[in-house]
Structure 1
Amino acid sequence: MEWHHLEYFKHLAKSENITATAKAMNISQSALSRAIQQLEKQLTVPLFNRIGRSIKLNKYGNAFLETTQNITQEMEIFKSKVKQATDALSGEIIIGFLHSVGPTYLSEFLKQFRQQYPEIQVKLVQNHAYNLFKMLDNGDIDIAITTISNKTTSTNFVPLLEEELYLTVNSNHALAQQSTVDITSISNEKFILLKKGFVLRE
């Protein structure tokens, strides 16, 4: 069942005039007749009573007209929702983020964003980096605020900020008095780290 066939039927059901409907829909009368015949074949019932050269909507046609109007109305509602959701100034955006950025950078960003774009609905999803990338690839979120990880063909990185990593050691440690430490010099040290699955651990 093709969408334009429903439109043809809906118009013909109201006019009950093949010539006028074909002209209004900018198709030939034979193409219109074939479209209605295909509908009737798929529905296994006649939709019109043919009386000479005129047609009249029958009880099956009346019932199908109501169904068709409901279908087209639901489609218009859906298209409207999609337009609103994808509108750059009044849609919806889903942001995935690391737990560490929530109380700091994200809260300040949301405050400014809502002032500038009050019509855009923001949804937040908190997760660790690997899951955020999966969600981004699957289309479950629109943006991921995370540390840099393996890039995929469907991701584009834009740096927001850079942060220093700090090494905490005992005051008696050989590196305690140094202001900067090369990461290769601590490759054999034992660390208290985040659990596996966190990008920062790497």
Structure 2
Amino acid sequence: MDLQVLRSFQAVAEGTTVTDAAAEAGITQPALSRALNRLDEEVGAALFQRVGRGLRLTPAGQVFKEYADSILDSYDRGLRAVAEVVDPDAGVVSLAFLHTLGTWLVPRLVTGFRESSPQVRFELHQAGEIGLAQHLLDSTADLIITSKDPGHPLITWRRILVEPLWLAVPTRHRMAQRRRVRLAEVAEEPFIVLKPGYGLRNVTETLCHQAGFSPLVGFEGEEVETLRGLVAAGLGVSLIPASSRATAPETGPDLPVRYLQMTDVHAARDIGIAWLASRSLPPAPRRFMEHALKATAGPREPGAPR
């Protein structure tokens, strides 16, 4: 079985036309069609069925694709591992991370790592909590940095730090001049939150329940910057990660948002790094993982209120 034929099978299975897949492989379209037919004979079942002008996987093809993906992934990872043995200072780190961590933690870790490994290249992806785990499961990332344990049996997660959360209120809010409050004091106010499925949404609901109430949702967004903007507009309050508070623009005495420390709940979220338990990390990603664990040992809390 030819690996290039497997790659072409994978490409067609994922929506590439046979003509384009043939061009990518550097062969003619009839030659690729014959190769796919021989693959059917080797497997012992038709892998594609024609639907309109395109091809769609048969049930047998869907099963076979899972194994083809695994074969190609293992082969590519093997090439990477050998290349890094030959040149241990090189390599690629494929890293996916939570949006809010792209403003402080990820740049800090990458910069520190490149001081000792300047030739290592990074492939970076941003996603929400659910998307991050999928990056690992789809083999599009070696490592993910996320705000909670994905809780998946195939994923190993290690906490690297605990990030504080602040209560963000508008500058004209009745408690804006205070530094510390109880979360229960805003139980009757609308909360600006992330949509369900985001880790910060789960943390917000959990902390509110610990304070004795269910949050009244005023708006559901997809970015922490949106939460902060709507708080500044006076539409509600929100729990904001310390890192986002630390990178917020602050000019003059009339700040758009005030950040208050909460005293009745332990307002924080876990930040961790994760990888597939069943897969051996190549040298460069393993070194980066070890660097991340070491570099975040005993970190200072970002964004302490003034």
Relative to the length of structure 2, the TM-score reads 0.35
Residues 169 and 176 in structure 1, CA contact (< 8 A), matched pair in contact too: no
SS in 1 for 2:109: helix
SS in 2 for 1:140: coil
> Runs of 5+ in structure 1 lacking a partner?
2-76
Runs of 4+ in 1 over 3 A off after TM superposition: 77-82, 85-89, 169-178, 184-189
Question: Structure 1 residues 173, 78: closer, same or farther in 2, change over 3 A?
Answer: closer
Percent identity reads: 24
Query: Within the alignment, does 1:127 sit opposite 2:127 as a pair?
Result: yes
User: Per-residue displacement from partner, 1:42-74 (whole Å, max 9, x unpaired)?
Assistant: xxxxxxxxxxxxxxxxxxxxxxxxxxxxxxxxx
**What corresponds to 1:143 in structure 2?**
143
Residues 149 and 157 in structure 2, CA contact (< 8 A), matched pair in contact too: no
Structure-2 separation of matches of 1:201 and 1:84 = 42
Question: Structure 1 residues 88, 151: closer, same or farther in 2, change over 3 A?
Answer: farther
> Runs of 5+ in structure 2 lacking a partner?
2-75, 203-306
User: Per-residue displacement from partner, 1:19-43 (whole Å, max 9, x unpaired)?
Assistant: xxxxxxxxxxxxxxxxxxxxxxxxx
**Mapping of residues 81-120 of structure 1, within 5 Å:** 81-84=80-83, 89-120=89-120
**Mapping of residues 1-202 of structure 1, within 5 Å:** 80-84=79-83, 89-169=89-169, 173=174, 177=178, 179-182=180-183, 189-202=189-202
Higher relative contact order (CA 8 A, sep 6+): 2
| RMSD, aligned α-carbons | 3.4
The CA deviation at 1:173 is 4.6
SS in 1 for 2:99: coil
Residues 175 and 181 in structure 1, CA contact (< 8 A), matched pair in contact too: no
Question: Structure 1 residues 137, 80: closer, same or farther in 2, change over 3 A?
Answer: closer
SS in 1 for 2:115: helix
User: Per-residue displacement from partner, 1:113-150 (whole Å, max 9, x unpaired)?
Assistant: 11111232211111111100111123221111110043
**How many residues were matched structurally?**
127
Structure-1 separation of matches of 2:185 and 2:152 = 32
Q: Residue type matched to 2:182 in 1?
A: V
Question: Structure 1 residues 115, 152: closer, same or farther in 2, change over 3 A?
Answer: same
Question: Structure 1 residues 103, 155: closer, same or farther in 2, change over 3 A?
Answer: same
The CA deviation at 1:93 is 1.3
Residues 97 and 144 in structure 2, CA contact (< 8 A), matched pair in contact too: yes
Residues 97 and 144 in structure 1, CA contact (< 8 A), matched pair in contact too: yes
Residues 149 and 199 in structure 1, CA contact (< 8 A), matched pair in contact too: no
- 1 or 2, which has the higher strand percentage? 2
